[in-house]
Chains A and B, each alone.
Chain A
Amino acid sequence: MADLRSTLAGISSPNPFWLASAPPTNSGYQVMRAFEAGWGGVVWKTLGTPIVNVSSRFAGLDYKAYKMLAMNNIELITDRPLEENLREIRECKNAFPDRAIVASLMEVCERQAWHELVKRVQEEAIDGFELNFGCPHGMSERGMGAAVGQHPDLIEAVTSYVKEVARVPVIVKLTPNITDVRVPARAAAAGGADAVSMINTINSLMGVDIESWDPIPSVNGKSSHGGYCGPAVKPIALNMVNDCARDPQVNLPISGIGGVEVWQDAVEFLLLGASNVQVCTAVMHHGFRIVDQLIDGLDNYLDGRGLASVEALVGAAKNRITTWENLDLNYQIVAEIDQATCIHCSKCYIACEDAAHQCIDRNVVDGTAILTVDQDHCVGCNLCMMVCPVDDCITMLRVDNGLPPESWKERSSRINV
């Protein structure tokens, strides 16, 4: 059993799996259930001046028969009084003192207002704050959430207001609805943040009902852009996490958020630079019980690789990401189709033929399509492997072309010389 304990900016938890500030952390009842299930920490549903919500609020993106490849929401922050939330936070902390409870906060951009909120909340035994500079819908129209996260100067200012009075670590939660996530992350660092978390949800419009022409989700026939999340956003989140993890001007621990559903997702976030992960959509889809899958999968993975602790993963592959100009132009791979496991669906053939480089030969022998790769012309794009329904049927083989590694940067400077 590997050591799954995790630390983010001094906030420790028995495992790296936290629940993100979202509907699953709306109440003490839910957080108690989450802790019973085994979650390492929670970021409580954002505290602030209670709001009024609309119905409906959520919408799912399905892919074929698979449900909720992604979802979006137009729910706002907590709709319950601060004192009620704080009482429940107290009860949860008393019941589960070893778990992390972080309070997500949202307030107008006024120093006094933030001071009052921070001071009141930290009268409870919370482990940290997460500043919600990310929600893209609703609250942003009132100058909060993503409206702050899209202005580095406001991020820096509000972070510094909070740091003036906070006695526990301060995490700044960033919006992905910007051009370069490193800029707001640097502003958070400049404001004194102890960590950043990302990504909050992405601006999105889930769709239109093509029968009624009502937008989705519909509020009496109308809608508003919502926050997009779930498995489909993971690649966007990984990119942003890694951008910040490699940026010397950010230089802060990162809590990774965005599409974590299975333990492999968490491993990827950690390898690319996150210290822990936060989960929401997967719980909204399957319930708190998924933490058992996450913990068990991660534990067996670490044991299988002979790694003693989860900390060994943090950032371990972050520097594998570089700029395109540094990639090796002489590295060559070609596709190979395993005839023993091929099911002759010809998906690889038509993909290569119509969308890649026409490098798969198809010969119908006794009614069965025999598919082979023209390896002399294969560019190693991966497409055939991606569309193949059979795992490991198509593999990419290294071609030894005898050439030394050479990047575009190296080649162009050589040519220019």
Chain B
Amino acid sequence: MHDFGPSIHRQLTDLEIKLEANRCLYCYDAPCMNACPTHIDVASFIAKIAQGNLKGSAHDILSANPMGASCARVCPTSELCEGACVYAKDDTPIRIGDLQRYAIDALMRSGEQLFSPGAPTGKKVAIVGGGPAGLSAARDLRVYGHAVTIYEMHDRLGGLNTFGIVPFRLANDVALWEADYVVQLGVDVETGVEVGVDISIDALLQNHDAVILACGMGGVPSLGIEGDDFAWDALDFIEHVKTGRRIGDLGDRVAVIGAGNTAIDALTCAKRLGAQRVTMYYRRGEEHMTAYDFEYAFAKDEGIEFRFYCAPVRVGRGEVTFVRTEVRDGKLVPIAGSEFTETVSAVISAIGQSRLEQTLKACGVETDDGVVRVDAALQTTRRGVFAAGDCIYAKGQREAMVVEAAEQGKLAARSVDAFVRSKAVA
């Protein structure tokens, strides 16, 4: 596998950890905890680090968030816990993400299992998709004592953590350790199984007391322009990278279409693969980018170039033609006669993710624009079928996040637990 260089996360020294952990004020009902979608008791886990109780610290983190290892690497902490830190106003928030990584890294080294399955209830739950939402639900359902089977279409668990996040941000050993840590609790895993194709939801419902859909989203949608089949799907590109599959020669001049966090991953990955010039093209302006500020800053540091207000109109062999755009009367429109052609050796499209409409249709759940419709308890329109994670992520919210998926997995597990127990009474 290609050497992608150092992780973007520098391991803090023991001295740094000591100073940082002790700098935490141990706020009451702390803002960081309330800013975390999974409500990790941050003040408590940091105090435990400060007191040398790394095992207790890791338990604080993972009990609230089974995806604590990956979240310590991929969470937009400046938007969440660190952004809410009482020191954030002075631009010196506690480095919560780094501290969380320290505590979980210690657990990864010790290998100690801090959780145990609950007394068997005799209830069986099927989870469709072994990504963050599915794994999170599986962990809690096992703790509740239910039998759990995860149906995963890939050959490995972890979902986007394993396949969709660049290795220098989240290495596979972390994503796979995290999945295995859940599986250790006695989760059955069926890999290479696509629900709706290899097995029907009706079959799942026959053999289980409830089903959780945590199948995420699909690949990058087509650009819908001439020659778009020349373009890489950014997620497919990253999956190739993560699984060590051959990418071929990207050449020296890579264009990435899109301005979200996956675009940043594709850009920086292409750069670290050796491309000389890697440029982001975005049809809107810098201020509209959906990538986090820190991601954008990271891309700049990596030497990425940026072109704003230009939309692709045609992909050809070795070139992409763009048209300049502008905002007129509040609408983004192409500027007539402004077309220009860039010589490129590869094009990667990162303009978002499509919805798994076929799968969801096969599951017989209602959707809105491809988003599974759920109630407050995350139950779909089909009784006994719940949903969590990116498949219920509706546009217009903040970015889809691992931590949000983890929280939804927990919520779905809680709802399923109530559901299967009430079935027992009835």
Contacts and interface: CB of A to CB of B under 8 A. Distances in A.
Nearest to A362: B29
B244 to A, nearest CB: 43
Given A64-B50, A344-B86, A350 B19 contact: no
A345 B19 contact: no
B18 interface: yes
A346 B22 contact: no
Interface in B78-96: 84, 86-87, 89
A90 interface: no
Interface residue range, chain A: 10 to 19
B28 A343 contact: no
Contact of B23 (A65, A344, A369): A65
Contact of A65 (B22, B25, B26, B84): B22
Contacts of A367: 31, 34-35, 84
A367 B26 CA distance: 17
B22 A345 contact: no
Given A65-B18, A350-B28, A367-B31, A343 B89 contact: yes
Given A367-B31, A368-B31, A343 B19 contact: no
Contact of B19 (A65, A346, A347, A369): A65
A152 B27 CA distance: 50
Contacts of B89: 343
Nearest to A390: B86
Contact of B87 (A64, A65, A343, A368): A343
Contacts of A345: 25, 27-28, 30, 86
Contact of B31 (A344, A347, A350, A389): A344
A347 B28 contact: yes
Nearest to B50: A64
Interface in A338-361: 343-347, 349-350
Contacts of B23: 65
Interface in B49-64: 50
B22 to A, nearest CB: 4
Given A65-B22, A343-B89, A349 B31 contact: no
B28 A389 contact: no
Contacts of A349: 28
Contact of A64 (B22, B35, B84, B86): B22
Given A64-B22, A64-B50, A347 B34 contact: no
Contacts of A343: 86-87, 89
A344 B84 CA distance: 10
Contacts of B27: 345-347
A347 to B, nearest CB: 6
A343 B27 CA distance: 10
A252 B120 CA distance: 80
Interface string A53-78: 00000000000110000000000000
B28 A346 contact: yes
A367 B84 CA distance: 9
Contacts of A350: 28
A391 to B, nearest CB: 14
A69 to B, nearest CB: 13
Nearest to B88: A343
5 contacts: A64-B50, A344-B86, A346-B29, A347-B27, A349-B28
Closest 9 interchain pairs by CB? Answer: A65-B22, A350-B28, A346-B28, A64-B22, A343-B86, A345-B27, A345-B86, A345-B25, A65-B19
